[in-house]
Amino acid sequence: MSQTSVKVATHDPVWTTIRSAAEELAKTEPVLSSLLYATVLNQHRLEDSLAYHLSQRLGTLEVPALLVQQVFEAAYDADPEIAAAARCD
């Protein structure tokens, strides 16, 4: 992750809100904690979380989830407007 990405992750109110909600939910709903850690709490930025989550849904035997995740990450890094649009959504 670049220095710019670290700064964005640090000053991203959308991501901060999502992480805070996930932390609270993980405390009160232990059954969901594994999913919350994998999808949100172990990710550094909203982009990373989206890439992970979408890749887990779209990965197949022919196109593994890790490859799909790398494609999403490359797209987010190449075009910051994609992440901006996700935040607006």
Quick one: what percent of the chain has pLDDT higher than 70?
Answer: 89
For residue 3, pLDDT beyond 70: no
Per-residue confidence (pLDDT) for residue 74, from 0 to 100: 97
Domain regions of the chain by residue span: 3-88
- Is residue 82 scored above 80 in pLDDT? yes
Between 8 and 52, residue with greater pLDDT: 52
Nearest by Cα to 74 from 47, 49, 54: 47
- Please, are residues 44 and 9 in contact by the beta-carbon 8 Å criterion? yes
Q: What is the pTM of this model?
A: 0.82
Architecture of domain 3-88: Orthogonal Bundle (1.10)
Q: How confident is the model at residue 2 (pLDDT cuts 50, 70, 90)?
A: very low
